[in-house]
Structure 1
Amino acid sequence: MDLPCLEWHEHVEQKWNQLSIDQKKAFSNLSEIDDIFAFGQSLLNRTDVQVLCGLSEGFQVQKKPQNAGKFREQGNLSFKARDYTAAVLNYSKGVCHAAQGEEEFSLCLANRSAALFHLCLYQECLQDISRALDRGYPSHLQQKLLDRKAQCLKRLGQRAEEKDNVKSISTCASPAVAPHFSPSKGRHLLAAKDIAAGEVVLEERAFGCVLISGGAPIARPGKDKYQEVRDGFKMEDQHCHHCLRQTLNPVPCQGCSYARYCGERCQQEAWEGHHHLECPVGGELGAAGVLAHLALRVALRAGLAEVQKARDSEAHPSTIPVLEPTNENGSKKDFKKEKGDEEDNHGDELSNVPEVSQQRMGTGGAPESWNGGRIQGCDPSGRYLSDSYLCVHHLLPHLSGHEPGLRFLCAVTMATLCLRLGEVGPLPAAWGEQTRTGGERVGQSQSLEESGGGTADLSMLGATALRHMLQLRCNAQAVTMLKDKGVPGSAVQSIQEVRVATAIFPTLSLLNHSCSPNTSVSFGTDPASGRSEAGDSVTVTVRATQAVSAGQELLHCYGPHYSRIPVRERQRLLQEQYFFLCQCTACCQELGSEVKVQVATPELHCVQCGSALQCGEDGYFCSRSSCDFRLSRADLAHRLQDLRAQMDQAERLIERDRPDDALRRLQTASGQASRFLPETHPLRGELADMSARAHATMGDWRQAAAQLRGSVTAIRAQYGEDSVELGRQLFKLAQLHFNGGEPQPALSVIPKARRLLSLHCSPSCEELEELRAMEVCLQGAL
């Protein structure tokens, strides 16, 4: 949930509707963040705080020690069923609810160590054994833990823990990339030299991130108890809430049942940096939404001194030269483009400003921005420093783009949160009490009426967080990671991309949009996390997906892609979210083409004669004049919904180790789908992919490969020839050919999969390493 929950939204909407016309007009004309926050703050009353606190009950984060034993018993049931992953997750829930120092806490840790041992996670097992022994595990049971510890050390070969010699992710763009500014495009990134396809152009740590709650499990009729237990675990149960690393033996927060961490270091850093303030108001933050939570966390990390410095730099800008692109030989290269050839799209732009005709040169011969002003966030050499708070501060909040009602919602939400923060305890040292003129100190115990809604420091914190909340509407990045959705122990990978968190990456935010981008992004966790100066350690890596010439702009897709959404719909979505009319190359070509391609509506077939269906006002009708078949939009939606229901049922049958029953259902669904859907339709591709899973579960590798080729066709049509989605599907096809003893088909697919994955993924990713291993094995066998 990015924005506040519906109930809070309705409460604030009532406050807005109660304003007079003059008050609404006055608020709508405010152009300064401080004034907008002060307006919202001035309207606060105790009812607002009470309403938000009441809504927090729907986002329970309090520990319930009485539930710890129940989760441990559920873990025991999973353990007996040999579902050790479910056992670990249940024991973790028990750990998070148990009171520190109580015996139940150590019992959950000890039981979790047993499940981790069966998962061959020996280091994690040792960690839990040590924690259990340190936290009062019953003395008469300790020998079991000591025996398990000895077995772990034996399995590890009695090796000492490996030293951490990994290199930290850099926090700035590659030297091949240079920041630039123009009136029509705002700040953006250009290639400073020729860039090869697959080359990394940016590696950046998040300045701040917030894990997204996984929500309630979906209840499905006919589900067995085993599957209910597995589906009951959410995103927050399996990731560190500080660095987002996936973890099966989290360390819980001592104050709440929600926050958990991959280790004591992340737990301590999170507590000192922000969680000691967030912990008592976790429910309120849940009701306020992810953007408010992240905005507050960014402000807390920055601190008052950095905020003041950023405000001063905005009031007194200085001239900073911009790095000029060069070609591969290092010579200067003219990168000014013809007007109309540029991708004029992003959320950090200045609209309705005429294009300048010539770049200005600084005193040293290096180019300056169009008016001689600085490009905010750059050091004296012109390099953009994304780990500086300045870079976050200077992202545009787009005040004029947001509707007044949304600005009011954000202002009241942040003001109410800050008032609650003032009630639960002192601000962090970076935002603590400030010495006033004459040595007077302002405390945080004033009444609402005396303080006008909060102290000066709280007001500064609130205004700063409000700025970031408005920025995040256009600059927040959904952090996605790959999750295995296949059958445990399957020989064929079955993954899906899921949203894990929302984060802010200052340099990534400089990339303008294109519906046909020349870059792709992937996310991971920094192996050098755990350092307080690094902040959150989730990282983004940006790679060029095609050759980029020096002076060419680096472009990123904000979501609407030309291969999946028609141009008018893309433009509407981008206008609503990012406040610009997309005029990228793909949009211009599609609008200028004589043949208008309706991407969102693939050609449908008549179920009576097989001819193409034409789209009319009331639905679809057969293009063959002698055929009277018609298909309403409601009927089409019903047919698609029924196919998805059959596919869901087949998936559950596969999970219950009944692939033969799943295949019969899938064959029926595929036959129905082929009557009216083309083979390139996404649903046809999903049916083929699941049929391949069923065949693979039965060990029928060749039939699985035959089915997956149909899925490859749909994926290629949906995502494009150079997409990472196609690369992953070809990787699965190579796995099937390899497992089926078909060396020649496998060797023909492996180079294609490797080329695509190399454009989007790290050379050390598991898929590429497995492809190399398969190729070596097959070549040795021929």
Structure 2
Amino acid sequence: MEVLLDNLYKKLKAKNQYKEFEQKYSLLKTDEDRVKFTMNIFKENDIKFEINGKEKNKSDATQYNEKATKLYISQKKSGKTMDLDSIIKLYTKSVAYAPANSYILSLAYANRSLALFKARLYRDCIDDIEHALLVGCPEKLKIKLDARKVRCREILDSPNSTPERRNFRELEQASKQLEKVDLNAKTMKIVKKTTQNSDESVSKNNEFIKLDGNRNLPQVPNDNEEIPGASSAIKLVYSEEFGRHVVATRDIEPGEVLAVQQGYVSNLFPENFYSHCIYCMKQTWSGIPCDKCVYAIYCSENCRKAAWIKHHDIECQVVGPLIEVGMENLGLMSLRLLVTAYKETEDLKVLKNHLKVIDSLTDPRTRGFTGKILDDKKYASVYTLETNSENRPNDDLFERSFKAAYITFVLAKKTEIFGKILPSGDLGNLKDHQWFTFVGGLIMRHQQIIPNNAHMACEFYRSEESLSLVPHEHGSALMPFFSLFNHSCVPSVFLGGFGNKIAAISTRVIKKNQQIFDNYGMHYVHIRDKRSRQTYLQRRFFFVCKCEACTDVCLNAHGPESYMFTGLGSLANARIHKALKNLNKYFKMFMFGNDDIIEDSEAVVEDLNNMLKVLEEYVDLYCCAEAIKIFSIWEKVYSLRGNRWQSVNV
């Protein structure tokens, strides 16, 4: 898209029209007008767009399959660690590109099942085998797969159970066909070994254990009358200084769950299309494809059906062309927002009238409410989020209207969202179509809402080299309520991902009526330099931070110091010392990668919360070196308890 935009700018400058263009554009007040103006510019400068997206084909599917097989064989021969992550991802791309019900699809499933077996993902291996057999495959391959399937069952079940014996009888029937089929010696050895030796089972403990992101999902009282999924310990208020923001209705202690939200939409980054489910966004190794496009993989049939109903029936033919012109996540998520909003009414006229009602509301606190609640399942909660249009420079806004116009153009040419697929012709000819400019205006609005309000979806993993905890950013989500938390470099809540939900958990004592702050990526614990934090926040979010970390002269002068040097007295020091007795033990546990001990221990979490509570009775937490250390461990422990990125390399 950047190349197309640069070419347009060059044309305008060559005709000495660039300054006039800037001046006229700066006078526009609505996103719909900006999109319409942009389309006029396209027509006047003969800008035409091509719509190209990759389609399912045997050639690409075969290429990915062969590349994966070659990598598998070469790495197995080398005797070194096998990069099964990459191998499985390549086979998954082969699955995605293979035409429906084709031999290459069956082969991709079959070959991936071998990699999954090697990765000890036996249940996934069985799933792939069943998919391969369902599509249909030659007798030789079928017997190999039957053998592999029974080996998986042998590992997963007790070899002496009645069902297991039935499994072996299935294979015995398959083995009778050996003489009828010209199998190679290696295959015959595998099948006969599996059939004849039922004692050759692998311990069930050897199965690769997937960590469910919901395994430690915090529970919230969910007793807030206005905010579904939130505690009554918080409420939404409004002031001229802070706008809509969240405050405590009572004293809140560290570790309290304040809200658990799923949000309105989430979107997977394109680089994770073949390793994660495009609907629920969880990591998947035996993903199944969309039957029509190459850009969607699902962890289950349930997710595939749900995605088609919710958004993919429209997105299916649109995502490809956007990716092929280099459209990034912002463009894809703005499309997802538009489709999800449209699905609420299935009628653009009804949607437009609904938005007119929202625009007419005068109470700034309840803007975005549906009835008497802030319903994050309704588009109203997203539509009313901050855009910062008035703070954005012209070139920023025009780039967004440029992309919005292109996305709408592809929608018009590939879907029936406008009632029918619009006739061929360049984009400029659609400038007077009322629903085209309405949809384009909404998409442009989304492109301003998303940068200020979307929350990153992260999975965490250990770096093999340093053992440090690394975030794997695999997507983003719009959580309307969480967007109403203002920023502080010393926040009072932590937002952690658990499955497809995000939980807000208090990190310190919050007094009644105090404002509750989130952090927008510039945390004092990680970034001590005030100028770096303020520069980023002003450029990205258009405000000057005035939190305690940015205004406390003492804190910025010499940084945190130990509580032992603050003159608290012997009794206070003794109480703090007792509360912090396990701090260094937890620090060492984390440093040496004892994640299973940490993440499964409720006692560790409770102890860390108590440390913060005791410290806050005596010191300003962010001025205290020990508190900073606790925060660092606390944040990592909660990250480990949530979504994890897992490698199956062996």
1: CA distance, partners of 2:462 / 2:595: 20
2: CA distance, partners of 1:766 / 1:272: 28
1: CA distance, partners of 2:297 / 2:483: 29
Does structure 1 retain, via aligned residues, the 8 Å contact 2:43–2:428?
no
1:644-663 → structure 2 map (5 Å cutoff): none
1:185 and 2:242 correspond: yes
Query: What is the DSSP-based 3-state SS (H/G/I as helix, E as strand, rest coil) of the residue aligned with 2:475?
Result: strand
1:269 and 2:326 correspond: no
2: CA distance, partners of 1:10 / 1:727: 56
Equivalent residue in structure 2 for 1:422, among 412, 419, 433: 412
Does structure 2 retain, via aligned residues, the 8 Å contact 1:172–1:387?
no
1:765 and 2:641 correspond: yes
Does structure 1 retain, via aligned residues, the 8 Å contact 2:469–2:636?
no
Where does residue 523 of structure 2 map in the other structure? 561
Identity of aligned residues (%): 23
Amino acid at match of 1:73: T
1:278-357 → structure 2 map (5 Å cutoff): 278-286=315-323, 287-303=326-342, 304=348, 307-308=351-352, 310-317=354-361
Where does residue 211 of structure 2 map in the other structure? none
Where does residue 485 of structure 1 map in the other structure? 463
Where does residue 197 of structure 2 map in the other structure? none
Does structure 1 retain, via aligned residues, the 8 Å contact 2:43–2:429?
no
Unaligned runs of 5+ in 1: 215-234, 320-372, 434-441, 526-537, 600-721, 740-746, 769-782
Structure 2 CA distance for partners of 1:243 and 1:763, relative to 1, 3 Å: closer
Does structure 1 retain, via aligned residues, the 8 Å contact 2:358–2:368?
no
Q: Deviations over 1:297-348 (max 9, x none)?
A: 10110113674354133333165xxxxxxxxxxxxxxxxxxxxxxxxxxxxx
Does structure 2 retain, via aligned residues, the 8 Å contact 1:71–1:94?
no
1:505 and 2:479 correspond: yes
Where does residue 244 of structure 1 map in the other structure? 281
Does structure 1 retain, via aligned residues, the 8 Å contact 2:537–2:545?
yes
Amino acid at match of 2:380: L
Q: Deviations over 1:515-574 (max 9, x none)?
A: 11111111232xxxxxxxxxxxx3221111111122111111112233414223322221
Amino acid at match of 1:92: T
Structure 2 CA distance for partners of 1:561 and 1:9, relative to 1, 3 Å: farther
Instruction: Name which of structure 1's ranges 250-259 and 237-246 shifts more when overlaid on structure 2.
Output: 250-259
Q: Deviations over 1:682-720 (max 9, x none)?
A: xxxxxxxxxxxxxxxxxxxxxxxxxxxxxxxxxxxxxxx
Instruction: Name which of structure 1's ranges 237-246 and 399-408 shifts more when overlaid on structure 2.
Output: 237-246
Unaligned runs of 5+ in 2: 164-213, 223-227, 343-347, 561-579, 598-602, 612-629, 645-650
Structure 2 CA distance for partners of 1:307 and 1:586, relative to 1, 3 Å: farther
Does structure 1 retain, via aligned residues, the 8 Å contact 2:247–2:513?
yes
Query: What is the DSSP-based 3-state SS (H/G/I as helix, E as strand, rest coil) of the residue aligned with 1:179?
Result: strand
Instruction: Name which of structure 1's ranges 11-20 and 302-311 shifts more when overlaid on structure 2.
Output: 11-20
Structure 2 CA distance for partners of 1:389 and 1:138, relative to 1, 3 Å: same
Where does residue 467 of structure 1 map in the other structure? 445
Where does residue 570 of structure 1 map in the other structure? 533
Query: What is the DSSP-based 3-state SS (H/G/I as helix, E as strand, rest coil) of the residue aligned with 1:172?
Result: coil
Q: Deviations over 1:437-482 (max 9, x none)?
A: xxxxx76226448953474333222111111111122112222220
1: CA distance, partners of 2:402 / 2:7: 10
Does structure 2 retain, via aligned residues, the 8 Å contact 1:129–1:149?
yes
Where does residue 152 of structure 1 map in the other structure? 152
2: CA distance, partners of 1:748 / 1:122: 33
Where does residue 200 of structure 1 map in the other structure? 257
Q: Deviations over 1:639-694 (max 9, x none)?
A: xxxxxxxxxxxxxxxxxxxxxxxxxxxxxxxxxxxxxxxxxxxxxxxxxxxxxxxx
Where does residue 732 of structure 1 map in the other structure? 590
Structure 2 CA distance for partners of 1:269 and 1:495, relative to 1, 3 Å: same
1:7 and 2:3 correspond: yes
Query: What is the DSSP-based 3-state SS (H/G/I as helix, E as strand, rest coil) of the residue aligned with 2:390?
Result: coil
Structure 2 CA distance for partners of 1:456 and 1:462, relative to 1, 3 Å: same
Amino acid at match of 1:43: I
2: CA distance, partners of 1:49 / 1:25: 21
Instruction: Name which of structure 1's ranges 756-765 and 389-398 shifts more when overlaid on structure 2.
Output: 756-765
- Alpha-carbon shift at residue 85 of structure 1 (Å): 4.3
Structure 2 CA distance for partners of 1:767 and 1:470, relative to 1, 3 Å: closer
Query: What is the DSSP-based 3-state SS (H/G/I as helix, E as strand, rest coil) of the residue aligned with 1:43?
Result: helix
Does structure 1 retain, via aligned residues, the 8 Å contact 2:413–2:421?
no
1:589 and 2:552 correspond: yes
TM-score (norm 1): 0.59
2: CA distance, partners of 1:123 / 1:556: 40
- Alpha-carbon shift at residue 143 of structure 1 (Å): 2.5
Does structure 1 retain, via aligned residues, the 8 Å contact 2:497–2:643?
no
- Alpha-carbon shift at residue 62 of structure 1 (Å): 6.2
Q: Deviations over 1:601-626 (max 9, x none)?
A: xxxxxxxxxxxxxxxxxxxxxxxxxx
Give aligned pairs, total. 522
Amino acid at match of 1:257: V
Does structure 1 retain, via aligned residues, the 8 Å contact 2:288–2:298?
yes
Structure 2 CA distance for partners of 1:449 and 1:137, relative to 1, 3 Å: closer
- Alpha-carbon shift at residue 96 of structure 1 (Å): 2.3
Structure 2 CA distance for partners of 1:766 and 1:589, relative to 1, 3 Å: closer
* Aligned CA-pair RMSD: 4.0
Q: Deviations over 1:101-147 (max 9, x none)?
A: 22121112112223323333222122111111111122333233223
Equivalent residue in structure 1 for 2:367, among 343, 367, 376: 376
Does structure 2 retain, via aligned residues, the 8 Å contact 1:727–1:754?
no
Where does residue 97 of structure 2 map in the other structure? 97
Structure 2 CA distance for partners of 1:496 and 1:61, relative to 1, 3 Å: farther
Amino acid at match of 1:27: Y
Where does residue 131 of structure 1 map in the other structure? 131
Does structure 2 retain, via aligned residues, the 8 Å contact 1:195–1:548?
yes
- Alpha-carbon shift at residue 282 of structure 1 (Å): 3.5
Structure 2 CA distance for partners of 1:503 and 1:15, relative to 1, 3 Å: farther
Amino acid at match of 1:7: V
Where does residue 405 of structure 1 map in the other structure? 395
Where does residue 35 of structure 2 map in the other structure? 37
Query: What is the DSSP-based 3-state SS (H/G/I as helix, E as strand, rest coil) of the residue aligned with 1:520?
Result: strand
- Alpha-carbon shift at residue 751 of structure 1 (Å): 5.6
Amino acid at match of 1:308: K
2: CA distance, partners of 1:392 / 1:455: 25
- Alpha-carbon shift at residue 183 of structure 1 (Å): 1.2
Where does residue 550 of structure 1 map in the other structure? 512
2: CA distance, partners of 1:543 / 1:241: 27
Q: Deviations over 1:348-392 (max 9, x none)?
A: xxxxxxxxxxxxxxxxxxxxxxxxx552133554x4222221110
TM-score (norm 2): 0.70
Amino acid at match of 1:519: V
- Alpha-carbon shift at residue 495 of structure 1 (Å): 3.8
Where does residue 290 of structure 2 map in the other structure? 253
Query: What is the DSSP-based 3-state SS (H/G/I as helix, E as strand, rest coil) of the residue aligned with 2:503?
Result: strand
1:48-63 → structure 2 map (5 Å cutoff): 50=48, 53=51, 63=57
Q: Deviations over 1:191-223 (max 9, x none)?
A: 122222011112111322222244xxxxxxxxx
Where does residue 611 of structure 1 map in the other structure? none
Where does residue 457 of structure 1 map in the other structure? 435
Query: What is the DSSP-based 3-state SS (H/G/I as helix, E as strand, rest coil) of the residue aligned with 1:44?
Result: helix
1: CA distance, partners of 2:519 / 2:267: 22
